[in-house]
Amino acid sequence: MTHEDAGHYAAKHPNAKTDSAIAAAIEEKQTDGRITCAAAHAIASKLDCSPNTVGVNIDLLEMRIAKCQLGLFGHGSVKGKTVAKASLVAGELETAIRAAMDGDRITCKAAWDVAERLNLKRLDVACACEALEVKIGQCQLGAFGS
């Protein structure tokens, strides 16, 4: 959903119900109706549930996700992505990104996995994807689909 859909995120999940423990954790971590990507993932880890489950609950609570760890959205007054094209992409990183691609894209989770495997920052992988013109899709929290 987009910025214009703000306040209507629950519509993505017409039959879903909030989980009280997840909702309480989200409420505790949110500020002004926003929760950071990092905080949402920490909740998923702490409560032993998937990031997507936390994302559904964020939507049901009509909150927004802020500070995407790949720099794709939610960085204050900056419109769109804050991620910039890397000036140079190491061969090993390019190979890892291309191997992790599904069609012409790489998923958010796969980008995170590449960063972990190569001991890089997630944002560095996103910058490399920008330089390689590889789109990142399927946010683990469900902020965007493809």
Put simply, whether the predicted model's pTM sits higher than 0.85 gets the answer yes
Please give the pLDDT value at position 64: 94
How confident is the chain (146 residues) per 10-residue block, as mean pLDDT? Answer: 65 94 98 97 98 97 95 77 89 98 96 98 97 96 78
Say which residue the tokens 């909702």 belong to: 23
Helix (H) or strand (E) holding 65: strand 64-66
Please give the pLDDT value at position 81: 74
Question: DSSP letter at 134?
Answer: P
Measured between alpha carbons, how far is 60 from 99 in angstroms, rounded to an integer? 35
Please give the pLDDT value at position 94: 98
Please give the pLDDT value at position 70: 96
Measured between alpha carbons, how far is 74 from 82 in angstroms, rounded to an integer? 9
Please give the pLDDT value at position 45: 98
Please give the pLDDT value at position 91: 96
Please give the pLDDT value at position 146: 47
Please give the pLDDT value at position 113: 99
Please give the pLDDT value at position 55: 97
Please give the pLDDT value at position 1: 45
Neighbours of 64 (CB within 10 A): 19
